[in-house]
């Protein structure tokens, strides 16, 4: 579904990601690593928000190395960035409507599916997104990506700042989204224990390079942890 071949990326002249090779199928693929390891940089590079400094990226067999984010969205790749992922002055409904500009099925049906998935949002439909709780706001952010009918969903640390209860619930929903809709998920996450519970495959980034890339099942947690201590 998504292939990275020797992708380097960063900010200005600074290289953060160093020659990353990656092959993501229609699975839940967790991207782990400590603060500053390069998780968000990887997500932004894949979503077309950061220009690659080298290497190639392909999505569903097409070279998208220089493809603009809006075009990638139309091709079926949606991202929930770590920050700035909702419009605070717009209502829940308006936020979802904006996401639904991308996608082909009737807009109302796609929005109703989000309310089925996150029923807590139903009573908040006309509330400004900026006045929601952290957990509710994340539901809107994920919902806004889902109404785009993505085939690959990039989630950048979606549980940051959530209470353990909300975080666990969102992790369960992420797995549910994958299983019910057959959407591939690339999940950048600090919380390795929780991410491993729902992931099929695990990548650990360390200093912008791949420390480990393995199936999640039966993975030796000490090896994952070692990637956090370099
Ligand atoms: N806009 C930017 N300009 C310059 N350097 C940046 C910028 N954004 C991130 N960096 C640097 O890139 C490196 C990787 O950051 P990145 O946000 O990808 O890490 P991360 O793994 O997502 O970390 P965290 O878990 O803390 O969000 C860090 O050293 C960071 O300081």
Q: Is the pLDDT of residue 230 over 80?
A: no
Ligand 1, atom 1, lies closest to the CA of: 11
Identify the residue whose tokens are 């292939």.
Answer: 3
190 within ligand 1 shell (Cβ under 6 A):
yes
Model's pTM, two decimal places?
A: 0.94
Over residues 89-115, the pLDDT tens digits come to 999 999 999 999 888 889 999 999 999
Query: Probe ligand 1: pick from 11, 82, 158, max atoms within 8 Å of CB?
Result: 11
Over residues 35-90, the pLDDT tens digits come to 999 999 999 999 999 988 999 999 999 999 999 999 999 999 999 998 888 999 99
Q: Single out the residue of 77, 72, 81, 59 nearest to residue 142, CA to CA.
A: 81
| Cα 72 to middle of ligand 1, angstroms | 23
| ipTM for the complex shown | 0.96
Classify burial at 221, counting beta carbons within 10 Å of its beta carbon; exposed 0-12, middle 13-18, buried 19 or more: exposed
| Cα 137 to middle of ligand 1, angstroms | 23
Query: Probe ligand 1: pick from 12, 40, 50, max atoms within 8 Å of CB?
Result: 40
Could you say which of 3.40.50.300, 3.50.50.60, 3.30.470.20, 1.10.357.10 is the CATH number of the domain covering 2-226? 3.40.50.300
The chain-wide mean pLDDT, for the chain, equals 93
């Amino acid at each position: 579904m998504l292939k990275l071949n020797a992708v380097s990326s960063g900010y200005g002249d600074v290289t953060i990601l160093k020659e990353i090779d990656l092959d993501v199928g229609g699975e839940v693929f967790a991207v782990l690593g400590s603060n500053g390891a390069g998780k968000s940089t990887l997500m932004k590079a894949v979503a077309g928000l950061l220009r690659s400094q080298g290497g190639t990226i392909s999505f569903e067999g097409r070279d998208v190395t220089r493809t603009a984010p809006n075009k990638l969205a139309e091709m079926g790749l949606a991202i929930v960035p770590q920050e700035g992922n909702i419009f605070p002055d717009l209502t829940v409904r308006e936020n979802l409507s904006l996401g639904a500009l991308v996608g082909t099925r009737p807009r109302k049906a796609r929005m109703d599916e989000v309310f089925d998935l996150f029923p807590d949002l139903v009573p908040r439909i006309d509330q400004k997104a900026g006045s929601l709780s952290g957990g509710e706001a994340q539901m809107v952010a994920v919902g806004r990506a889902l109404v785009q009918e993505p085939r690959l969903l990039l989630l950048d640390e979606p549980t940051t700042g959530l209470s353990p209860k909300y975080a666990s619930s969102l992790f369960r929903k992420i797995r549910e989204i994958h299983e019910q809709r057959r959407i591939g998920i690339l999940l950048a996450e600090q919380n390795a224990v929780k991410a491993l519970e729902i992931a099929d495959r695990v990548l650990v980034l360390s200093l912008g390079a791949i420390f480990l890339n393995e199936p999640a099942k039966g993975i030796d947690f000490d090896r994952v942890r070692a990637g956090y201590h370099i």
